[in-house]
Structure 1
Amino acid sequence: MRRAKISIIGAGNVGATTAHWCAAAELGDIVLVDIPQTEDMPKGKALDLMQSSPVMGFDSNIVGTTSYDDTSGSDVVVITAGIPRKPGMSRDDLLSTNAKIMASVCEQIKKTSQHAVVIVVSNPLDAMVQKALQVTGFEPSRVLGQAGVLDTARYRTFLAMELGVSVEDVSALLMGGHGDTMVPIPSCTSVGGIPVQQLIEPARLAEIVDRTRKGGAEIVSLLKTGSAYYAPAAATAQMVEAVVRDKKRLIPCAAYCDKEYGVGGYYVGVPVVLGSSGVEKIIELTLTNEEKTAFQKSVDAVKELVATMAKLS
């Protein structure tokens, strides 16, 4: 039985760290790709990571390259390529440049890996995954975006910090677009099975939600140069694992919603069952009126972002 083939497009911090997490978990053989202008950089990172395998005890073949020919026949393609967000730069500022990069990457993917599941990580996420679908022409179930796992992880972290409990005991769900309009679902948030509203006052909970929404920007402001990569890469690796091991994980991600939630043909963060064929099922929750209003606001923001991208292209 052959190992899964995982190609990661973009060998920057997020891409290389995703390769690290995937290799350490022995999820498959990995191809780390970057643009020709980087010359031998992806080869150096791949070799360095390979040399850690005897120490850490994992078996994964890791190749660094600037040629998409090496990605041929991939089971999963992760796209992290794009310019990073800098201090003072909104996700929308990235739109024009990263849309062109995404289109270029996806033209190559559809030539080399026609049956792959594609996981988009590049920002602005909800627009980038829409562009990936348009360019690849793949089934919507095989093109999805990593956002919900990261946003939920940040939320769970902040809740655990607030309560002084293990992150393992915090279960949460966030929906909607990846950014300032993401929607917490209180009825799906608990700590050790206890509804979070019984443990944290509404005003304080609202502050934690706001910090979660601005979680990426907070790290950008602290780093000064660059953006978050450990948590985004870990979240991506969890999605890769769900696909290559057909784990049927019920997790939030940016999935193509048509009739679901009345979205009408856009990518938005929703809970899904993720397995070997990609998004195998979208879970439709019964939302409260307040949650519905917030979710619709988030969907409208995504639609506006996609419309802006269409005008720029």
Structure 2
Amino acid sequence: MKRAKITIVGAGNVGATCAHWCAAAELGDVVLLDIPQTEDMPKGKALDLMQASPIVGFDSNIVGTTDYADTKDSDVVVITAGIPRKPGMSRDDLLATNAKIVTAVTEQIKTTSPNCAIIVVSNPLDAMVQQAQKVSGFPANRVMGQAGVLDTARYRTFIAMELGVSVEDVSAMLMGGHGDTMVPMPSCTSVGGIPVTRLMDEKRLEEIVDRARKGGAEIVGLLKTGSAYYAPAAATAQMVEAIVRDKKRLIPCAAYCDKEYGVGGYYVGVPVILGSDGVEKVVELDLTEQEKSDFQKSVDAVKGLVEAMDKLLAS
């Protein structure tokens, strides 16, 4: 059986670490691409990863390049390209620059890999994935954004830390935009099958939720010169796995919603079934009145972000 071909655009911390996770899990052969100005940097990182293969025990082939010709006929393309956040910057501050980068990358992808699935990681996420779908013209189910898996992982981590339990026993769901307006779902959060609301009080849970919302900014503040990459890369690799192995995972990601949840034609974080056909289904949950209100605020924030992006690109 032919191995899947996975292209990762952007060989910085997130991209290179995503290549690491994908190769170690033998999800397929990996192409790590960056802009020509980086010269041989992606080749160096790819060679370094290849030299780890006898130690870790994977047979995935890894190629570093600055030429989109090497990405031809990829099954999955991950877009991590863009400038990272610095202390004091919000994801929205990246809007104009990263929108232009994602546009340029997507124009190349649609030519070299017209049948691929696209996973966008670049921030601000919800606007970037909207732009990638618009530029590619791909069916909406084949273009998605990685955010929900990461946000949920942060939420699960903090709950496990608070309760002193294994992260494996924490199951959770978050919805909405990737940022401060994300919507936690306490009704869909449990520990070993026990509702989390039975294990901690509402005030403490809300504090954990707030930390999860600001999880990226917390790491930016600690690192000083960059943003998170281990967890974002691992979250992206999980989505790649769901597609190339047709796992039918029920996970949150930024998916196109029209009539679903009454969103009206935008990408926003929702639970989906993710498999070989990309987003195979958006799972609609019965939300409480508070959850509906919070989700609508998050959707409105995403709409504002997309409108601002469109204005910037038109100017």
Interval of TM-score (by shorter of Structure 1 and Structure 2)? over 0.9
Structure 1: runs of 5+ lacking an equivalent: none
Amino acid at match of 2:125: L
Inter-partner Cα distance in structure 2 for 1:44 and 1:224: 26
Could you report, residue by residue, the CA deviation over 1:232-291 in whole angstroms, capped at 9, with x for unpaired residues? 000000000000000000000000000000000000000000001100000000000000
Q: Which runs of 4+ in 1 moved over 2 A?
A: none
- 1:66 Cα deviation (Å)? 0.1
- 1:117 Cα deviation (Å)? 0.4
Inter-partner Cα distance in structure 2 for 1:73 and 1:34: 17
Amino acid at match of 2:122: S
- 1:212 Cα deviation (Å)? 0.3
Could you report, residue by residue, the CA deviation over 1:132-179 in whole angstroms, capped at 9, with x for unpaired residues? 001000000000000000000000000000000000000000000000
Question: In the alignment, what sits opposite 1:241?
Answer: 241
Inter-partner Cα distance in structure 2 for 1:92 and 1:6: 28
Following superposition of structure 1 onto structure 2, how do residues 224-303 of structure 1 map, counting pairs within 5 Å? 224-303=224-303
Amino acid at match of 2:29: D
Following superposition of structure 1 onto structure 2, how do residues 111-126 of structure 1 map, counting pairs within 5 Å? 111-126=111-126
Inter-partner Cα distance in structure 2 for 1:48 and 1:141: 34
Question: In the alignment, what sits opposite 2:4?
Answer: 4
Could you report, residue by residue, the CA deviation over 1:3-59 in whole angstroms, capped at 9, with x for unpaired residues? 000000000000000000000000000000000000000000000000000011000
Inter-partner Cα distance in structure 2 for 1:107 and 1:41: 23
- 1:214 Cα deviation (Å)? 0.2
Following superposition of structure 1 onto structure 2, how do residues 82-161 of structure 1 map, counting pairs within 5 Å? 82-161=82-161
Question: In the alignment, what sits opposite 2:24?
Answer: 24
Amino acid at match of 1:215: G
Structure 2: runs of 5+ lacking an equivalent: none
Amino acid at match of 1:50: M
Inter-partner Cα distance in structure 2 for 1:200 and 1:307: 40
User: Any idea what SS the aligned residue of 1:210 has?
Assistant: helix
- 1:74 Cα deviation (Å)? 0.3
Following superposition of structure 1 onto structure 2, how do residues 24-103 of structure 1 map, counting pairs within 5 Å? 24-103=24-103
Inter-partner Cα distance in structure 1 for 2:277 and 2:114: 13
Amino acid at match of 2:94: L
2:201 is aligned with 1:201: yes
Following superposition of structure 1 onto structure 2, how do residues 301-312 of structure 1 map, counting pairs within 5 Å? 301-312=301-312
Could you report, residue by residue, the CA deviation over 1:195-218 in whole angstroms, capped at 9, with x for unpaired residues? 000111101111000000000000
User: Any idea what SS the aligned residue of 1:256 has?
Assistant: strand
Question: In the alignment, what sits opposite 1:171?
Answer: 171
With structure 2 as the length reference, what TM-score do the two structures score?
0.99
Amino-acid identity (%): 81
Q: What RMSD over aligned residues (CA atoms) do the two structures have, in Å?
A: 0.3
User: Any idea what SS the aligned residue of 1:86 has?
Assistant: coil
User: Any idea what SS the aligned residue of 1:51 has?
Assistant: helix
Give the total of aligned pairs: 313
User: Any idea what SS the aligned residue of 2:240 has?
Assistant: helix
Amino acid at match of 1:150: L
Amino acid at match of 1:253: C
Inter-partner Cα distance in structure 1 for 2:56 and 2:157: 27
Could you report, residue by residue, the CA deviation over 1:97-152 in whole angstroms, capped at 9, with x for unpaired residues? 00000000000000000000000000000000000001000000000000000000
Amino acid at match of 1:312: L
Amino acid at match of 1:160: A
Could you report, residue by residue, the CA deviation over 1:67-91 in whole angstroms, capped at 9, with x for unpaired residues? 0000000000000000000000011
Amino acid at match of 2:68: Y
User: Any idea what SS the aligned residue of 1:52 has?
Assistant: helix
Amino acid at match of 1:7: T
User: Any idea what SS the aligned residue of 2:243 has?
Assistant: helix
